[in-house]
Amino acid sequence: MKRVVLKISYLGTAYHGWQVQPNGITIQETMQNALEKMYKKRPDLTGCSRTDAGVHANEFYCHYDTDQEINERGIVLGLNALLPQDISVLDAKYVDSDFHVRYNAKGKNYIYKIYNKELKNPFISDRALHIARPLNIDKMNEFCKEICGTHDFYGFSSSGRTVTDTVRTIKECFVYKDGDEVILSVTADGFLYNMVRIITGTAIAVSDGIINPYDTKEILKSKERNRAGITVAPHGLYLNKVFY
């Protein structure tokens, strides 16, 4: 058996997240359907993360094991011919059998896109959160500086979390403007359930003057979810890069 790692990207609008589930079509299921058509067998497919319904990925990794020999370019072209237009295989590599896309990951970078203009844009309505009022990027970046470092992010995660260790290290967090979009970028060694969406909601609350950025450390220490900002909608969130 040989292990293949796929680098993919996808628009998550039509999917109920990555992981196979009974109530809707997912990225994992769609990928497995394509793999089954190509290999005439249905392989187990392991992903580097569990993105939620409506969340997108600029870069996502998954792996499977196979006893069939197809060259790497053939895998890429073959799968792309079988997959819908909103999922793309960018690369395929044969790797050592002990490589694991989830456990070997050293960190991830997520971005959250906000369309920050008075009138909505129907062409990106499922790809960025629309906020009509002007956002204060300087204030948002003050919050971002405060949240960097190693902290217990229990209060910045939702009740659906599946882990007991809620300490994470944010290595970099900042907000910048790109045309009509305001983008929050955050890089960490790992993320809790809804953590990026809550960080973004808190940054927006700081911009609006609802939360003082210099209260961030106290909010973290309190572990009280209601002291942070709202959980913003999923459609502005992108898994942007995975570090190995």
Q: What pLDDT is attached to residue 27?
A: 97
pLDDT value of residue 105: 97
- What phi and psi, each to the nearest 5 degrees, are found at residue 195? -60, -45
Looking at residue 163, its pLDDT comes to 83
**What span, in angstroms and rounded, lies between the C-alpha atoms of 120 and 114?**
11
The values of phi and psi at residue 209, to 5°, are 80, 10
Hey, do 2-95 and 108-243 end up sharing a CATH topology, with the first three levels equal? yes
pTM tops 0.85, yes or no: yes
Q: Tokens at residue 176, please?
A: 């910048």
CA distance 49 to 239: 9
Answer whether 157's CB lies under 8 Å from 193's CB. Answer: yes
Closest C-alpha to 113, from 196, 17, 26: 196
Architecture of domain 2-95: 2-Layer Sandwich (3.30)
Query: In the chain, where are the structural domains located?
Result: 2-95, 108-243
pLDDT at residue 162, as a whole number: 75
pLDDT at 22: 87
- The neighbour count for residue 232, using CB atoms within 10 Å, is 23
Per the listing, tokens 């680098």 go with 7
Q: Which residues are catalytic?
A: 52
State how far the Cα of 56 lies from the Cα of 240, in Å rounded to an integer: 9
Euclidean distance between CA atoms 157 and 23, whole angstroms: 24
Mean pLDDT, 10 residues at a time, the chain of 244 residues: 97 96 94 97 95 96 96 98 98 97 97 98 97 98 98 90 89 98 97 96 98 96 95 98 98
Q: Return the CATH architecture of domain 108-243.
A: 2-Layer Sandwich (3.30)
